[in-house]
Amino acid sequence: QVHVVESGGGLVQAGGSLTLSCAVSGGMFSSYSMGWFRQAPGKEREFVAAIRWDGGRTYYADSAKGRFTISSPNGNTVNLKVNSLKGEGAAIYYCEASPPTTDWSEFNREYDKWGKGNQVTVTS
């Protein structure tokens, strides 16, 4: 059984930075495209960034370009670094894994494994 666990959230001052981490266990991590999504109160879950399973090409939502960086530093972890965090960045951040050898997607329904989420709160 595959487990996805996010960590690294918490309170962050507006304009600050943080790195969210996602650890995947119990499956073949190298075959999964990985995506980060976020959901703010009263809003739908939205795509933030993704990294493709083969070769590590990365993709970003327009709102994330230039301030968010997705990376996979080792064999079972994917990180999301956020710089210059803004108020609208406050949300629960979810890490999601695709079915094996499947392309990335900006649509949450294309991923079949995800964690419980990690809260990011932005303070002024």
d(CA 119, CA 6): 10
| Residue showing tokens 């629960």 | 92
Q: What are phi and psi of 80, to 5 degrees?
A: -130, 110
What per-residue confidence (pLDDT) applies to 124?
A: 86
What per-residue confidence (pLDDT) applies to 118?
A: 95
Region of 80 (left: φ > 0; alpha: ψ -120 to 50; beta: rest) is beta
| Residue showing tokens 């809260």 | 119
Maximum CA pair distance of the chain?
A: 42
d(CA 120, CA 122): 7
Average pLDDT of each block of 10 consecutive residues along the chain (124 residues)? 94 95 94 96 96 93 95 93 92 97 95 96 93
What per-residue confidence (pLDDT) applies to 88?
A: 86
Is residue 27 a contact partner of residue 2, using CB atoms and an 8 Å limit?
yes
Is residue 13 a contact partner of residue 123, using CB atoms and an 8 Å limit?
yes
